[in-house]
Amino acid sequence: MSGATIIDGKAIAAGLRADVAASVERLGREHGVMPGLAVVLVGDDPASHVYVRNKDRETRAAGMASFEIKVPATTTESELLAIITELNARDDVDGILVQLPLPPHIDSGRIIEAIDPAKDVDGFHPINVGRLASGQPALVPCTPLGCIILAKSVQANLTGLEAVVIGRSNIVGKPVAQLLLAENCTVTIAHSKSRGLPEIAAGADLLIAAVGRPELIRADWIKPGAIVIDVGINRVPGEGGKSKLVGDVHFEDARRVARAITPVPGGVGPMTIACLLRNTLTAAAARRGIALAI
Ligand code: GUN
């Protein structure tokens, strides 16, 4: 194989945002409902502020209401729980996202469990985790959902594929494995401590890399003709003293072997916010018992 298809996450995300915006417009016209997303940011981590600003802009652009709740790093766990309780009760808030990571004095598990599962647009609440694992309708984590949409843009039916997920986080590895099972893949979850990682990866028709190691995955880890979805976003030293972003996959290596591959940046990254908007729309409709074909 020479020359993989480069999966254009930016364009696919733009298409998804446009679909969401059209459904939001219809929800308003037919039901008088405007979905609302509340994002809670604790402290002043610069990267988190950038994410939250982007979420706010995209939420408004899709025609939804955006509420930003920014509180200092000194906020206590019980103060944050009180904010969640208030957002749970508000009818104009359909989605609640608490930006992670939280300061170390706050137990993020307790905060996530306090969110109304019907408003848990991150899909991190144990109720949604359990629903996904048992095949019931659930709010599903955004980055994993984005990975599946990108893989299906290459091959609409993933049934029977050998899928290998490298990474076992609650945010990406575990939920993406559940989604792949639901797509009828044979799923292997490997991670940084797995023995024989290159051989495991080389068995994959569909490889999802979410391990957080810059350019770990080289050409000989990839089965010729595989679909490669790279979730990694790693900042490494670049030319002229500047830094650059690379994935968990060595892109130039992999594109010579794979059938299709996502770039970093411009692959999975743009899909995350688009899927968050989709989840907010889904939550807004589901909370009101409105059937929506998104
Ligand atoms: N921080 C990094 N990724 C995420 C995410 O998907 N959701 C939340 N809430 N915080 C994050």
Mutate to test the pocket of ligand 1, among 54, 97, 106, 108 (most ligand atoms within 8 A of CB): 97
Ligand 1, atom nearest to 48 Cα:
1
In this prediction, residue 293 carries a pLDDT of 73
pLDDT digits (tens, 9 = 90+) for 124-154: 999 999 999 999 999 999 999 999 999 999 9
In a domain, 124, yes or no: no
Question: Is residue 150 domain-shared with residue 232, that is, in the same domain?
Answer: yes
pLDDT band at 31 (very low <50, low <70, confident <90, very high): very high
- Do 75 and 151 reside in the same domain of the chain? no
Distance in Å, CA 92 to ligand 1 centroid: 22
Q: Which atom of ligand 1 is nearest to the CA of 171?
A: 6
Q: Which of 133, 137, 113 is nearest to 125 (CA)?
A: 113
Residue 1 has pLDDT above 70, yes or no: no
Domain assignment present for residue 190? The answer is: yes
- Does the C-beta of 233 come closer than 6 Å to ligand 1? no
As a whole number of angstroms, the distance between CA 149 and CA 158 comes to 11
Residues 247 and 172 reside in one and the same domain: yes
Catalytic residues, by residue number, are: 55, 99, 122
Residue 290 lies in a domain: no
The strand pairing partners of 228, in sequence order, are 207, 261
- Domain co-membership, 171 together with 261: yes
Between the CA atoms of 114, 99, 68 and 16, what dihedral angle is there, to the nearest 10 degrees?
Answer: -100
pTM: 0.97
**Domains: count for the chain:** 2
Do 158 and 105 lie in a common domain? no
Nearest CA to ligand 1 atom 11: 100
User: Would the CB of 98 count as within 6 Å of ligand 1?
Assistant: yes
268-286 confidence digits (pLDDT tens): 999 999 999 999 999 999 9
| Residue nearest atom 2 in ligand 1 by C-alpha distance | 100
* Band of pLDDT at residue 219, cut at 50, 70 and 90: very high
Residue 265 preceded by cis peptide, ω within 30: yes
Domain that holds residue 44: 33-116
Q: Are residues 107 and 147 in the same domain?
A: no
Q: Does 43 share its domain with 84?
A: yes
